[in-house]
């Protein structure tokens, strides 16, 4: 079996099949990055997986998953102003959490350099929106590079780091879901380990790090000058791609949209010229003006918002360039990922002589939808099944981000609204005002509690809001791939002091805290009933370890034998409680209504046994 | 060789990720250029997991346009019908493992389970290869059973037993490798 960690540390050149999230780790190493931080979030957490493949004692840089994106950014910043090249990575909406610190970075002198890696998510594959973080880059005066493939991620990161070190300024590498997860064979350079100077280089005598009142202006001027300089002297020009067929039509594009474009134009005879940019903020002025001047029509082909379009149009206006610039043509052009299908559609509506319209897929037989599910044995399922029985029909149920969000699905319908990380307690508090008719209950996961949830809870205690919080504690960051968090007693590398959720709540002054294992459904029902009957703020900790993680560990142990449940057909009255109310995906039902257990799926947790009104669910080997 | 588009699909937990890793590496050992992409994240929790692999000298995006897959590999019956109808070219090949992980609406009783016959009758394609084996030591090896059928049907020129074995050696620890090679070769 190939050893990823060994490969990433190779001194000689090599080629390997990797996803973008792996390729970037080799770029960290070759660039001499010293400090890397993150909070897990799709599409970037597999960068952490690749880092974990390198044993900590051999890892040439420090890495941590921090408690949230803001803290992660602050650690990378702190390391950088002490002279270490640093990198922080997180998902699209993570930038909103980091923003308070992030927006200042462009003002600062980052002695060691710092690269911010953003995993944007056009197509909202695993996010609550499609936000285009180029807006935040503009707002913060920070340059952005956007690669389209794993090979480019690797090259662009190294170039971004190089500029960041040289100019002592932050640089953003903007990735998207399908650059992070794209797979190809990448040729990696050789690597010679460096000796680093660990002398703290922080210098507040010659450099201002306190942006207050009038001291802000010179910092802002420097940030603007840096951008202006990049716009006029693009240091990344060699990374651009130009297809020049001397056509009167041109297309300016970047990122994975370029890949879609190339595929869609594969069989087109009269191909427009294509300019693919590496640096997308600030825009390389001269290059774009030359391209506009030499074409009659130029399409700006960009995913999500018309950021580039607006800038190029204003550039053309200021310079009296007569080229017809074609941007977004409809609202739909702002929505969704620019896959080859989408690009074909956009191009057809732009120049209908250029490409054939997208094929209409004809589905003759409808197939039932398949939304994601809580796993077999998931403690959240037991919790939702029980809590539903404890609440009145008209109770308001506020969810949060995490696996428990899946409780929004039938048959539970236990999450009626969702906003952002840690938002549930605050929203629930607001909904409790002028409301003595409908009880407000909110949910929160344990990793999210540490991430951004604590502030809302503190507020609920501080201002004595009349709500019940149900803390769904599964002992891990499950949705993003089981990363550790402050409550697990283990950090990325080693055992560490455990910060128990319950003690935190006690310390914050929560008076009523009830703790129940979610498999004890009857007890949980009683606990929730007791909590909601209490005036003021109350918390129920509904805990059970993530069974996906638990079973993976258990299966690896020698002597493991899987026990499963079955349905005793003599006892089963087809009341369907297991399949339509508890709804573990393990249960299947045939045309005659006979319920059976899918042996591909049952993990033998037995949390379903108690749900059967006629006790027909039994463990194998049980009495027949 | 002309471009070849392979669309893989199944339910989170069935081993689409491993199958796609093996295919990518086997295709590489067979000497082809390629691009691939997998689903990660949320959908892995019992939702639809998709992996795409495009082989050829003039490939840019790893994503396949609707109705443009030459081969659809499905590890589950409902997903075979879904991808067979949405993604497959009329002259393409559908190869699928005949097991059913009932989707939510079926379990809740609001919709009907898809029958084996429907997948055989309703997917428009040149070749429809149904795979089912009752000799598997572990249901999680259904992916390797499908791979084995791909090889015996010579679905990808040059991607033979040898290339797949080499790829699996890159990816699996010894004990797991031995068990999976047994399935591959039988």
Whether A373 is covered by a domain: the verdict is no
What are the helix (H) ranges across A304-339? 307-318
Domain count, chain A: 4
Q: What is the mean pLDDT of chain A?
A: 96
Whether A416 is covered by a domain: the verdict is yes
DSSP string of B100-166? ----HHHHTTSSPPPPHHHHHHHS--SEEEEE--S--SSGGGHHHHHHHHHHHTT-STT--HHHHHH
Say which residue the tokens 């809740």 belong to.
Answer: B108
Is A567 found in the same domain as A522?
Answer: no
Residues A170/A156, Cβ–Cβ less than 8 Å: no
A564: exposed, middle or buried (Cβ count in 10 Å: 0-12, 13-18, 19+): middle
**In the predicted structure, residue B2 carries a pLDDT above the cut 90:** no
Burial A95-111 (b: 16+ CB within 10 A, else e): bbbbbebbebbbbbbbb
- Listed by number, the residues of chain A in 504-563 with a beta carbon closer than 8 Å to a beta carbon of chain B are none
CATH of the domain at A311: 3.40.50.920
Whether A357 is covered by a domain: the verdict is no
Residues of chain A with Cβ-Cβ distance to B116 below 8 Å are: none
Distances (CA, A) of A306 to A255, A300, A335, B16, B179: 15, 9, 11, 36, 53
Is A258 found in the same domain as A383?
Answer: no
Q: Which of B12, B78, B169 sits opposite A368 (nearest CB)?
A: B78
Neighbouring CB atoms inside 10 A of A570's CB total 7
Q: Which of B37, B78, B169 sits opposite A183 (nearest CB)?
A: B37
Q: Identify the weakest region by mean pLDDT among A41-50, A156-165, A443-452, B40-49.
A: B40-49
* Shortest alpha-carbon distance between residue A32 and chain B (Å): 29
Mean pLDDT along residues A183-191: 98
Look at residues A553, A584, A604 and tell me which one is the last residue of a structural domain: A553
| Domains defined along chain B, listed by start | 4-185 (3.40.920.10)
Distances (CA, A) of A204 to A4, A201, B8: 41, 10, 56
Q: What is d(CA A451, CA A90) in angstroms, rounded to the nearest whole number?
A: 13
Residues of chain A with Cβ-Cβ distance to B100 below 8 Å are: 588
Say which residue the tokens 């045309």 belong to.
Answer: A591
Q: Do B86 and A363 make contact, defined as CB atoms within 8 angstroms?
A: yes
* Shortest alpha-carbon distance between residue A182 and chain B (Å): 4
pLDDT band, very low/low/confident/very high, at A556 (cuts 50, 70, 90): confident
The rounded percent of chain A whose pLDDT value lies above 90 is: 96
B81 Cβ neighbours under 8 A, 6+ residues apart:
A365, A367, B114, B118, B119, B122, B123
Distances (CA, A) of A162 to A170, A196, B135: 11, 16, 56
Sign of the torsion formed by the C-alpha atoms of A17, A18, A24 and A29: negative
Give the pair of three-digit tokens for residue A130.
């499609």
Rounded to the nearest 5 percent, the helix, strand and coil shares of chain A are 35, 15, 45
Q: What is d(CA A245, CA A248) in angstroms, rounded to the nearest whole number?
A: 9
Chain centroid to CA A517: 29
C-alpha closest to that of A107 among A242, A238, A236, A210:
A210
- Element (DSSP H or E) covering residue A459: helix A454-462
Q: Which of A367, A409, A590 sits opposite B81 (nearest CB)?
A: A367
Look at residues A519, A553, A587 and tell me which one is the last residue of a structural domain: A553
**In the predicted structure, residue A622 carries a pLDDT above the cut 60:** no
**In the predicted structure, residue A481 carries a pLDDT above the cut 60:** yes
Query: pLDDT tens-digit profile of B125-158?
Result: 999 999 999 999 888 899 999 999 999 999 999 9
N-terminal to C-terminal alpha carbon distance within chain A: 45
Give the pair of three-digit tokens for residue A91.
């998902």
Is A576 found in the same domain as A527?
Answer: no
**In the predicted structure, residue A621 carries a pLDDT above the cut 70:** no
Specify the pLDDT at position B186: 85
Mean pLDDT along residues A286-311: 98
Query: pLDDT tens-digit profile of A506-547?
Result: 999 999 999 999 999 999 999 999 999 999 999 999 999 999
Q: Do B35 and A184 make contact, defined as CB atoms within 8 angstroms?
A: yes
Give the CA diameter of chain B. 48
Look at residues A210, A232, A254 and tell me which one is the last residue of a structural domain: A232
Say which residue the tokens 């499950």 belong to.
Answer: A478
Query: pLDDT tens-digit profile of B45-94?
Result: 889 999 999 999 999 999 999 999 999 999 999 999 999 999 999 999 99
CATH of the domain at A608: 3.30.70.20
Q: Do B107 and A369 make contact, defined as CB atoms within 8 angstroms?
A: no
Say which residue the tokens 């999680």 belong to.
Answer: B140
- Listed by number, the residues of chain A in 35-74 with a beta carbon closer than 8 Å to a beta carbon of chain B are 42-43, 46
Is A532 found in the same domain as A475?
Answer: yes
Whether A29 is covered by a domain: the verdict is yes
Neighbouring CB atoms inside 10 A of A438's CB total 13
pLDDT band, very low/low/confident/very high, at A623 (cuts 50, 70, 90): very low
Is A122 found in the same domain as A45?
Answer: yes
**Overall pTM > 0.95:** yes
Whether A365 is covered by a domain: the verdict is no
Q: What is d(CA A600, CA A581) in angstroms, rounded to the nearest whole number?
A: 21
**In the predicted structure, residue B11 carries a pLDDT above the cut 60:** yes
B102 interfacial to chain A (CB closer than 8 Å): yes
Query: pLDDT tens-digit profile of B91-110?
Result: 999 999 999 999 999 999 99
Mean pLDDT along residues A568-596: 95
* Shortest alpha-carbon distance between residue A378 and chain B (Å): 11
Say which residue the tokens 């660039």 belong to.
Answer: A31
Specify the pLDDT at position B13: 87
A11 Cβ neighbours under 8 A, 6+ residues apart:
A190, A191, A192, A193
Whether A374 is covered by a domain: the verdict is no
Burial B30-42 (b: 16+ CB within 10 A, else e): bebbbbbbbbbbb
Residues A18/A180, Cβ–Cβ less than 8 Å: no
Say which residue the tokens 């407000």 belong to.
Answer: A440
pLDDT band, very low/low/confident/very high, at B39 (cuts 50, 70, 90): confident
Q: What is d(CA A467, CA A538) in angstroms, rounded to the nearest whole number?
A: 7
What are the helix (H) ranges across A233-324? 255-264, 285-293, 307-318
Three-state SS at B57:
coil
Neighbouring CB atoms inside 10 A of A7's CB total 17
Specify the pLDDT at position A558: 87
Whether A483 is covered by a domain: the verdict is yes
Q: Do B85 and A260 make contact, defined as CB atoms within 8 angstroms?
A: no
Neighbouring CB atoms inside 10 A of A523's CB total 14
Is A547 found in the same domain as A613?
Answer: no
Q: Which residue of B has its CA nearest to A151?
A: B35
Specify the pLDDT at position A624: 37
Q: Do B64 and A260 make contact, defined as CB atoms within 8 angstroms?
A: no
B116 interfacial to chain A (CB closer than 8 Å): no
Is A262 found in the same domain as A225?
Answer: no
Is A614 found in the same domain as A476?
Answer: no
* Shortest alpha-carbon distance between residue B152 and chain A (Å): 25
- Listed by number, the residues of chain A in 254-293 with a beta carbon closer than 8 Å to a beta carbon of chain B are 256, 258-260, 262-263, 266
Mean pLDDT along residues A4-32: 98
Residues A146/A118, Cβ–Cβ less than 8 Å: no
Distances (CA, A) of A102 to A37, A96, B1: 14, 9, 49
Chain centroid to CA A462: 31
Whether A363 is covered by a domain: the verdict is no
Give the pair of three-digit tokens for residue A55.
């044993």
C-alpha closest to that of B104 among A546, A369, A170:
A369
Q: What is d(CA A158, CA A191) in angstroms, rounded to the nearest whole number?
A: 12
Q: Which residue of B has its CA nearest to A596?
A: B107
Q: What is the mean pLDDT of chain B?
A: 95
Is A501 found in the same domain as A487?
Answer: yes
Q: Which of B81, B103, B174 sits opposite A369 (nearest CB)?
A: B103
Give the pair of three-digit tokens for residue B29.
């050992």
Give the pair of three-digit tokens for residue B132.
């089912």
What angle, 0 to 180 degrees and rounded to 10, lies between the N-to-C axes of helices B174-185 and B142-152? 50
Give the pair of three-digit tokens for residue A316.
């053309």
Domain housing A284: 237-350
Is A131 found in the same domain as A92?
Answer: yes
Say which residue the tokens 């609001």 belong to.
Answer: B110
Residues A78/A48, Cβ–Cβ less than 8 Å: no
Neighbouring CB atoms inside 10 A of A305's CB total 16
**In the predicted structure, residue A78 carries a pLDDT above the cut 70:** yes
Is A432 found in the same domain as A291?
Answer: no
Q: What is d(CA A2, CA B166) in angstroms, rounded to the nearest whole number?
A: 11
Q: Which residue of B has its CA nearest to A17?
A: B25
CATH of the domain at A426: 3.40.50.970
- ipTM score assigned to the predicted complex: 0.97
Is A153 found in the same domain as A94?
Answer: yes
């Amino acid at each position: 079996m190939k050893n990823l960690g060994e490969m990433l540390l190779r001194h000689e050149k090599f080629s390997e099949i990797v996803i973008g999230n792996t390729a970037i780790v080799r770029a960290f190493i070759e660039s001499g990055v010293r400090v890397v931080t993150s909070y897990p979030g799709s599409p970037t957490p597999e960068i952490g997986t690749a880092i974990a493949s390198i044993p900590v004692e051999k890892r040439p840089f420090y890495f941590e998953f921090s408690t949230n994106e803001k803290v992660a950014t602050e650690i990378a910043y702190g390391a950088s102003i002490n002279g270490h090249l640093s990198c922080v990575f997180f998902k699209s909406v993570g930038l909103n959490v980091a923003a308070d610190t992030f927006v200042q970075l462009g003002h600062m002198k980052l002695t060691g350099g710092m690269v911010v890696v953003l995993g944007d998510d056009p197509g909202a594959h695993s996010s609550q929106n499609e936000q285009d973080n180029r807006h935040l880059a503009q707002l913060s005066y920070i340059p952005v590079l956007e690669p389209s493939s794993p090979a480019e991620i690797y090259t662009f990161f190294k170039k971004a780091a190089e500029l960041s070190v040289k100019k002592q300024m932050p640089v953003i590498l903007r990735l998207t879901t399908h650059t992070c997860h794209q797979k190809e064979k990448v040729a990696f350079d050789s690597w010679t380990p460096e000796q680093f100077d660990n002398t703290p280089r922080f210098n507040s005598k010659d450099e201002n790090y306190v942006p207050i009142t009038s001291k802000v202006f010179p910092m802002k001027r420097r940030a603007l000058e840096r951008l202006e300089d990049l716009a006029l002297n693009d240091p990344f020009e060699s990374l651009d791609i130009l297809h020049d067929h001397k056509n009167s039509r041109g297309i300016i594009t970047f990122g994975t949209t370029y890949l879609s474009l190339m595929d869609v134009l594969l069989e087109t005879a009269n191909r427009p010229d294509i300019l693919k940019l590496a640096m997308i903020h600030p825009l390389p002025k001269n290059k774009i003006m030359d391209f506009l001047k030499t074409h009659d029509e130029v399409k700006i082909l960009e995913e999500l918002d018309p950021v580039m379009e607006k800038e190029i149009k204003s550039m053309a206006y200021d310079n009296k360039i007569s080229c017809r610039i074609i941007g977004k043509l409809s609202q739909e052009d702002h929505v969704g990922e620019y896959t080859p299908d989408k690009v074909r559609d956009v191009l057809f509506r732009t120049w209908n002589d250029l490409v054939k319209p997208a094929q209409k897929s004809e589905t003759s037989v409808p197939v039932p939808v398949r939304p994601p599910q809580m796993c077999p044995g998931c403690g959240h399922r037991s919790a939702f099944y029980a809590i539903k029985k404890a609440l009145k029909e008209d109770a308001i149920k506020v969810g949060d981000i995490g696996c428990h969000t899946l409780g929004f699905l039938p048959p539970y319908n236990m999450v009626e609204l969702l906003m952002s990380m840690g938002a549930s307690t605050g929203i629930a508090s607001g909904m409790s005002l002028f409301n003595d008719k409908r009880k407000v209950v909110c949910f929160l996961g344990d990793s999210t509690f540490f991430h951004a949830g604590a502030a809302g809870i503190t507020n609920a205690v501080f201002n004595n809001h009349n709500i019940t919080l149900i803390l769904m504690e599964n002992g891990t960051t499950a949705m993003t791939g089981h990363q550790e968090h402050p409550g697990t007693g283990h950090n990325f590398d080693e055992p560490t002091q455990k910060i128990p959720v319950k003690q935190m709540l006690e310390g914050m002054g929560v008076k009523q805290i009830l703790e129940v294992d979610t498999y004890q459904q009857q007890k949980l029902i009683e606990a929730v009933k007791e909590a909601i009957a209490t005036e003021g703020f109350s918390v129920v900790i509904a805990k059970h370890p993530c069974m996906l993680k638990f079973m993976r560990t258990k299966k690896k142990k020698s002597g493991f034998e899987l026990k499963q449940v079955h349905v005793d057909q003599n006892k089963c009255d087809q009341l369907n409680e297991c399949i339509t109310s508890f709804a573990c995906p393990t249960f299947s039902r045939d045309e005659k209504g006979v319920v059976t257990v899918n042996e591909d799926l049952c993990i033998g947790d037995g949390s379903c046994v108690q749900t059967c009104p006629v006790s027909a669910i039994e463990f194998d080997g049980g009495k027949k | 060789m002309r471009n070849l588009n392979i669309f893989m699909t199944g339910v989170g937990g069935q081993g689409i990720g491993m199958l796609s890793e093996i295919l990518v590496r086997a295709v590489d050992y067979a000497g082809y250029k390629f691009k691939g992409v997998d689903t990660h994240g949320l959908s892995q929790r019992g939702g639809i997991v998709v992996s795409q692999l495009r082989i050829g000298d003039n490939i840019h995006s790893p994503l396949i346009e609707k109705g443009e897959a030459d081969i659809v590999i499905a590890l589950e019956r409902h997903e075979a019908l879904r991808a067979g109808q949405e993604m497959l070219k009329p002259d393409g090949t559908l190869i699928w493992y005949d097991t059913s992980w009932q989707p939510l609406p079926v379990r809740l009783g609001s919709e009907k389970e898809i029958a084996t016959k429907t997948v055989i009758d309703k997917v428009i394609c040149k070749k429809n290869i149904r795979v089912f084996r009752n000799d598997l030591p572990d249901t999680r090896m259904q992916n390797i059973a499908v791979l084995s059928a791909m090889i015996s049907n010579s679905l990808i020129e040059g991607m033979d037993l040898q290339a797949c074995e080499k790829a699996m050696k890159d990816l699996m620890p010894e004990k797991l490798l031995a068990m999976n090679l047994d399935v591959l070769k039988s």
